[in-house]
Every structure is written in C-alpha cells, then in structure tokens.
Amino acid sequence: MLQFSKIQQNQCIGDVEAVDFKVLGDGTQMGHLIISCECKKYLKRFDVQASVLNWKISKFLKGSIECLDYASIKSYQFGSSDVQNF
C-alpha cells in the first residue's frame, strides 16, 4: 500500500507531514492504510485514510485547493476523535 501513497513517511506536502502509517484489517485497499499526520499550521496531529489524503494531495498539486492542512483535510472527514493538539 505504501507505494501507492502520494506522501511518504517524514515527507511534508503543504502544511502536512506524514509521521507514521498503520494498516487496518487485511490492508488490501487504500482505505485500510491510515496515515498519522502533523499539521504545521494548526499544530495538530491526526489520522486520515490514505485514499482521502491522496485525493486531497492531488487537488492541492493541481491547484484545485489553495492549501493542504488540517482544516482542508478535515472538511472531508467526519468525527474528530483522532485529533491531538501538540
């Protein structure tokens, strides 16, 4: 799964840095890959599905969204139990 991720560990794109990767279930789909990220702008650590982050990164690199940060990623996700301030 990692080879299909648009961000690699310790890489920063926009204001988001990939800190760690976790696999849920059998790990056969991008939705099973969870990326732990840190947002440099909002000083938050959060988890996001790789499929969601890949989609947001593509939009950011194409210029469809102005920034890639916690808020722009969170606008797609539901629930905030996976968020930590640091």
How does pLDDT run across 4-34, given as a tens digit for each residue?
899 999 999 999 999 999 999 888 887 899 9
Distance CA 57, CA 7 (A): 8
Long-range contacts of 18-22 (CB under 8 A, 24+ apart): 19/45, 21/50, 22/47
Among the listed residues 28, 49, 27, 25, the one whose alpha carbon sits nearest the alpha carbon of residue 37: 49
Torsion of CA 24, 84, 50, 6, to 10 degrees: -140
pTM comes to 0.83
